[in-house]
Amino acid sequence: MYTSDENIATLDRTFVWHPCTQMKDHEVLPPLEIVRAEGVYLYTADGRRLIDAISSWWVNLLGHTHPRLTAALSDQAATLEHVIFAGFTHAPGARLAAALCRAFPGGAAKCFFADCGSAAVEVALKMSFQFWQQTGHPRKTRFATITGAYHGETIGALSAGAIPLYRDIFKPLLLDTLVVQGPTCFRCPYGLSRNTCSAECFEHMQRALQQHADQLAAVCIEPLVQCANGMNMYSPHYLTKLAQACHAFHVHLIADEIAVGFGRTGRLFACEHVNVRPDFMCLSKGLTGGYMPGAVVLIRDQSVFDAFYGEYVEFKAFYHSHSYTGNPMACRLALEVLNTLHHEILPNLQTPITAMSRVLAHLATLPHVGETRQCGMIGAIELVADRPSRQPYPPAARIGWHVYREALRRGALLRPLGDVIYFLPPLTITPAQLEELGAIAAEAIVSVTGS
């Protein structure tokens, strides 16, 4: 047990192992204790206020402790907090499934619930695989992905990703995924620009599909922005070409909108920008507003569902369940988030998008900023040692981490991805708050890069 007068920092240091963290770093930068949050702000135990520029790992969509979400959650918790979702249903779950299927570009047939992003990816992979097995294509047992992809960290989801830092040590455990060269727009080998190119780099995927389609169940992709890969933004033409090729080669397209969905790119779904209708769409993170875990997979075609439908003794149902599948509180939150997005946020999103463009334009003038890039409400600042040659800093310099420290001192949570500093704030952030964030980022970058 613990007693309430025990020091939180001591308890943490003694007992907690934090995620995605080299714990030795805590010797010089112990974890900050957050005692409350409101809107875009986090409040520390020592009385400071931080702008949550990264929506606490991209989950907080509408600001912290949003009154309507808090009320909906508390009402749902007092009414029906959870019930097994096999053999039972409930209003928040059925309503959410309907709302999401209807919001899916052109409509989706079914919604399958999971409980976190990685689990949603696992569902999509397994569903795609089982579909082909049950429809006379036993050779379709592999998945394709692109370099820099991130789809989560459970073994299946990790297999669908391709970031060496997360993946390499586990290679002997992973599925035999086909990793195809993807877009690398900041250092484009074709010398082109993502804003004007025709996604010439798609040639790698075209070739891979030509050669391996008969073995491939699905291609998994993060539409428009590979968030974990340093907010790598690529030409929308890539997505269009991929959707067309997947269709032509009879390979499923899994759109992982876990990070980019729910308004982050300026539209409800990133796929909407190019009218792409993936076979499977994974959603999580902002889905539940950052209050609690929740995830879904939307299945476009009824024919996928039909391939699992039959007599019990055929044993072709989708035998996959997570204990918290369809949790009513998560569903109720997601309904509230969806309503708020539709009625309040999306119609007014151009104002913060334009404000973010202004902030990024200023940051782009700093000598060690190699590039700033933006997709809707996602902004990134790539720091380089040498701007003309785009030469990166040596990893040991940990420039991004030092900027993170400096920004914390100045009032912003700007957790970097390597040397990429990024903004992925709650969509409710105001232009004034974005200006404040930009000023903190600029000061932190200048103090670390020396110019």
Ligand X SMILES: Cc1ncc(COP(=O)(O)O)c(C=O)c1O
Residues in contact with ligand X by the rule CB under 6 A: 116-118, 121, 150-152, 222, 227-228, 256, 258-259, 284
d(CA 361, CA 77): 45
Strands (E), 58-211: 110-114, 142-146, 178-180
In this structure, are strands 420-423 and 378-383 parallel, antiparallel, or unpaired? antiparallel
Q: How far is the CB of 259 from ligand X (least distance, A)?
A: 4
Q: Cα–Cα distances in Å, from 209 out to 178, 241, 242, 244, 278?
A: 10, 12, 10, 11, 16
Q: How far is the CB of 266 from ligand X (least distance, A)?
A: 17
- Residue 119 or 383: the one with the smaller Cβ distance to ligand X is 119
d(CA 185, CA 175): 28
Q: Which amino acid is at 333?
A: L
Tokens standing for residue 253 = 């397209």
Q: Which residues pair with 113 in a beta bridge?
A: 296
Pair 67, 59: CB distance under 8 Å: no
- Residue 120 or 448: the one with the smaller Cβ distance to ligand X is 120
Q: How far is the CB of 415 from ligand X (least distance, A)?
A: 12
- Residue 92 or 293: the one with the smaller Cβ distance to ligand X is 293
d(CA 59, CA 55): 6
Q: How far is the CB of 302 from ligand X (least distance, A)?
A: 26
Q: How far is the CB of 432 from ligand X (least distance, A)?
A: 29
Q: How far is the CB of 361 from ligand X (least distance, A)?
A: 27
Pair 370, 390: CB distance under 8 Å: yes
Instruction: Tell me the residue number closest to ligand X, measured at CB.
Output: 117
- Residue 278 or 438: the one with the smaller Cβ distance to ligand X is 278
The CB-side HSE value for 399 (13 A sphere, CA atoms) comes to 21
Q: How far is the CB of 420 from ligand X (least distance, A)?
A: 14
- Residue 197 or 282: the one with the smaller Cβ distance to ligand X is 282
- For the chain, give the number of residues: 451
d(CA 242, CA 254): 11
- Residue 76 or 284: the one with the smaller Cβ distance to ligand X is 284
In this structure, are strands 49-52 and 41-44 parallel, antiparallel, or unpaired? antiparallel
- Residue 288 or 449: the one with the smaller Cβ distance to ligand X is 288
Q: How far is the CB of 257 from ligand X (least distance, A)?
A: 8
- Residue 152 or 392: the one with the smaller Cβ distance to ligand X is 152
